[in-house]
A and B are shown apart, each in its own frame.
Chain A
């Protein structure tokens, strides 16, 4: 009865083109963001930071990145893990080479470096399509991880071959390293996620987003109506890699602290992010968040119930989680190929008509 556009009259173009046209949506988003910034930092403790909030935020960012490429531009990529590794190693090189550099700038620069690499590996997409492209992106996944393992310059010639995040401060507050307080790391990630998500939402509504979607829906037709595939595809690759690179940098600097490339950025991570956007919804920013939260938290929940609640052995539960994840993916593809975000869209339609559906 209340959740609808009608009656909410727009009197200027600015109002007409705002991101959330419905009043309740605006209020809801504002409340969520205010809650995340003003309330959560006071409640957060080490457990919630490390095992729930940080990973969900970071995976959401990676999922938004992949969603831009796969969901909006239709280019399937299995190289997410490799691009996250680029972000992580770039941030490591920046923090160690320029210790004075502000962490915000470090993370943004790492995203920039990843975007360059993304463009490089996106070049084949101009000629290769569909499955073929998916396999071609596997090349970036395996090659990049191999590179970070084999070239000592990337890990500063450390004996163990892994990289460790040095302690860095912003305005006197420790952000990286083992002594960082939970609220600081959380806020650091949150700022990136909120800002980048809003930018992504805007990008997908604008000229770029529309050209991506045109390419996704039918590339030849898009070309004929004047969308330049070179520009559209490469911009999708670079912006997507930018997001994924930032996610990788945060993953390493703030969340894990120490990273070994084959373990942390393996092919399983690429698949994980792909599943997140399938389950959440291809071509939806909201879906990226839902998918990331779902895919990350569901196994944690199942594990908690079965291992701590029922007392089963962890390895059996691990196998069961595999089965449940696989089963859910098939289930969602059969029931709702457009993901969880579509359920929300349907609910929204219902809400608009409620309480007089006929």
Chain B
């Protein structure tokens, strides 16, 4: 019973976090402690004068790939979990995916 608890996924996850935390704290104890100057805590900028601000991510160019990603990720998941189901269920879903791919194809050309 206790052994089951020890070798369980949440407990191992907890332990791996603890291992990371121990290393982190050891680094905190032995790490060098310098004074925090203004230049040190500024973002790295290759010597240029670049203020720190959040950049907007331009997803437009890759949006179509993200849509494809969603479609195919579900296809892969369905194929993965269709080990013991009859062959026509995954085949039907694959056909639906094929239709989605054909519909999305013009957008891929444009992008």
A binds B: no
User: Taking beta carbons and an 8 Å cutoff, which residues of A are in contact with B?
Assistant: none
